[in-house]
Amino acid sequence: MSNVYEDLTQHYKAVARRIASVASVEVKPVKVQPVKIVPPVIKLGVPPVSDDARQFISSVLVAHRIVWRELIQPDRRPEMVMIRAEIYEFLNNRGWSLTQIGNLFKRDHTSVLHAIRKRRAK
């Protein structure tokens, strides 16, 4: 047992000598540049459309606190259906065809037509 103790003692003394013999490294101060804090940009992910359509879609998304990816999901909750219908109607009034709107939202043109008719009926 004492042999193990002596071996460990010698080992730790050798390690201590190696640590003490390492040359000290000179640490130079580093100049830190001030960081410009930029507010985070909300990436809505609106697809490439005309500026007025993009602005309208972005405003609707921000108002309802959702992102584009959520809007085009196959979600039938009434609030999502009404948000989509609002945008459908806006685009249709700007001269977009039902097929173009459907392609933008990954929907069939008849789904777009139904949503617009239902919204106008209210």
- The residue count of the chain comes to 122
* CA proximity to 67, closest of 91, 102, 42: 42
Cβ count within 10 A of residue 116 = 20
pLDDT over 60 at 3, yes or no: yes
Quote the tokens at residue 7. Answer: 């071996």
pLDDT over 70 at 33, yes or no: yes
Percent of the chain at pLDDT > 70 equals 84
The pLDDT score that the predictor gives to residue 37 is 65
Give per-residue pLDDT as tens, 66-111: 998 899 898 899 999 999 999 999 999 988 899 989 988 999 999 9
pLDDT over 60 at 5, yes or no: yes
* CA proximity to 74, closest of 109, 45, 107: 107
Cβ count within 10 A of residue 1 = 5
